[in-house]
Amino acid sequence: MNKVKVNVNSEIGRLRGVILHTPGNEVENMTPRIAQRALYSDILNLSIAQKEYAQLEGVLSKWTTTYHVDDLLQKVLEDSNEKEFLARRICNIEGVPDYYEILMALSPKKLTTLLMEGLPAKIDTLTAFLKDEYYALHPLYNFYFTRDASASIGSDVLICKMANRVRVRESLIMETIFNKHFECSIIDANDFSKDVSGEGGVPGANNKNGVSIEGGDIEVISNNVLLVGNGLRTTTKGIDMLIQNFCKRNIAGEQHIIVQQLPDDIESYIHLDMVFTMLDKDACLVYDPIVLGDNQYRTVHITIDNGRVKKIRDEQNILVSLRKLGIDLKPVYCGGTEDEWNADREQWHSGANSFAIAPGKILAYKRNTNTLEDLNNNGFNIVSSEDVISGKVDLEREKRCVVTIEGSELPRGGGGARCMTMPVVRDDIGLI
């Protein structure tokens, strides 16, 4: 395919292109014994997860151009030089150089599958036997959450430094895909970490005080306003790296980065998009206790002007900070407003993790009924993915709407519609 020009200057501009990865056998190559290490709270039923994912993919396929990680990667690996480079890089970074020849002997299709589903270890020495490790290259259990390993910011793509080693290969694959198939400027957080973290630039070092940054913590509000979460997966040094790169952008006027601190000990608050997502030019979906409630988590507004940090100040919350920039958002509440237990339960199941395919048109889980009720009370018509896919509902004719997808298994991985989508092209809209 011809290279696609990356352009994402908001969270809500009409979606023109998105990268997806259907959960596959890598999800089933996990046992309860390793679930926690794989960043899961439970194991998934793959057949049900795939049926649920088919609803997400079906809606998106009717609305926009979809690109699939497996197809994009396989095309890269058909180039022998690209294949050699990626195979050697993966083996070196993941500490298994002896497996390089095994990878090179595989066809592009087989190698693509293996890089997703995992490579069993050779048990041909006592050391290997006693190590009690089934995989040399672990399955990419989390890769159906394509949001996390990269982030589109304008015409730039940030290749993230993942917080956990089990996800290192995701960022390597996404970098390869973007270099080959997309027209964009690459910002590699792993290169930055070589200079400042003392970790030699190795991704996923699990260093709370080093550089890590993940796409679920980055939300593009406008051409010159970013929201960034600081919590379990994105450190302050990771955000400092992003600020340095923002300072280099050739954009007239001030630029703003608003940082929201998140709890660093609760998995359901793993990224910013688990507590805050955009719905429309004047509306957002929030988990009140973290985003608006009276708590110890700070909101910090960083102003950049003429290529340097001009000011850093505390704000009351995200909405107050955005309002000062001329973006006035009405909050819709994850779990509704009547019962804090509903809010907690639905936030756990990614109730705040919506994904906009156009201003006022979003995807969300059907199970979060109280969230859907509050959305409906704020003018969002509730429609099912089945009706959209069958053609019974024409999204072009809808104004504000929520397209619901089933979510009994997919949320077990710890994410919702935004987590499962990596936008590469959106129409520009004017917010400020």
182-235 tens-digit pLDDT: 999 999 998 865 544 333 333 444 445 589 999 999 999 999 999 999 998 999
> 283 and 12 in contact (C-beta within 8 Å)?
no
Taking alpha carbons only, the member of 216, 298, 289, 299 closest to residue 256 is: 299
Picking from 187, 240, 186, 188, the residue whose alpha carbon sits closest to that of residue 209 is 240
Q: How many CB atoms lie within 10 A of CB 279?
A: 27
Q: Which tokens belong to 97? A: 């150089």
Q: Is the pLDDT of residue 431 over 70?
A: no
DSSP structural state of residue 98:
G
Q: What sign does the CA torsion over 109, 112, 118, 123 have?
A: positive
Q: Quick one: average pLDDT of 118-130?
A: 79
Of the listed ranges 1-15, 122-136, 187-201, 394-408, the one predicted with least confidence: 187-201
In this predicted structure, what is the pLDDT of residue 192? 66
Q: What is the C-alpha to C-alpha distance for residues 170 and 67, in angstroms, rounded to an integer?
A: 16
User: Is 60 exceeded by the pLDDT of residue 167?
Assistant: yes
> What is the chain's mean pLDDT, rounded?
90
> How far apart (Å, rounded) are the C-alpha atoms in residues 193 and 418?
27
Quick one: pLDDT at residue 29? Answer: 67
**Domain range summary for the chain, segments of one domain joined by +:** 4-426
Most distant CA atoms of the chain, gap in Å: 65
User: How high is the pLDDT of residue 196?
Assistant: 42
Provide the residue count of the chain. 432
318, 197, 311: which is closest to 243 by C-alpha?
Answer: 311
pLDDT, mean of residues 111-120:
95
Name the pLDDT band for 412 (thresholds 50, 70, 90). Answer: confident
pLDDT, residue 130, reads 66
Percent of the chain residues past pLDDT 90, beyond the cut: 76
Q: Is residue 123 within 8 Å of 129, Cβ to Cβ?
A: yes
Check: CB of residue 385 under 8 Å from CB of residue 402. Answer: no
- Residue 302 CA to residue 257 CA, distance in Å, equals 5
Superfamily of domain 4-426: L-arginine/glycine Amidinotransferase; Chain A (3.75.10.10)
Please tell me the predicted confidence (pLDDT) of residue 126: 76
Token reading at 432: 């400020």
pLDDT category at 176 given cuts 50, 70, 90 is very high
Higher pLDDT, 195 or 394: 394
pLDDT digits (tens, 9 = 90+) for 319-358: 999 999 999 999 999 999 988 889 999 999 999 999 999 9
Closest CA relative to residue 154, chosen from 263, 230, 255, 266:
255
> Quick one: average pLDDT of 232-245?
93
The answer to whether 421 and 147 are in contact (CB under 8 A) is yes
pLDDT in tens, 354-386: 999 999 999 999 999 999 999 999 999 999 999
Q: Which two tokens stand for residue 172?
A: 């390597």
> Of residues 163 and 12, which shows the higher confidence score?
12
Q: How far apart are CA 55 and CA 63, in angstroms?
A: 13
Q: Closest by alpha carbon to 214, among 230, 192, 194? A: 230
Q: What is the mean pLDDT of residues 283-296?
A: 92
Q: Which helix (H) or strand (E) holds 358?
A: strand 355-358
Query: Predicted confidence band at 35 (pLDDT cuts at 50, 70, 90)?
Result: very low
Give the per-residue pLDDT at 199.
38
Is residue 224 helix, strand or coil?
coil
pLDDT above 80: residue 41:
no
Please state, in angstroms and rounded to a whole number, the distance separating the CA atoms of residues 148 and 419: 7
81 pLDDT band, cuts 50/70/90, is: very high
Q: Are 387 and 393 in contact (CB under 8 A)?
A: yes
Nearest CA among 430, 325, 383 for reference residue 63: 383
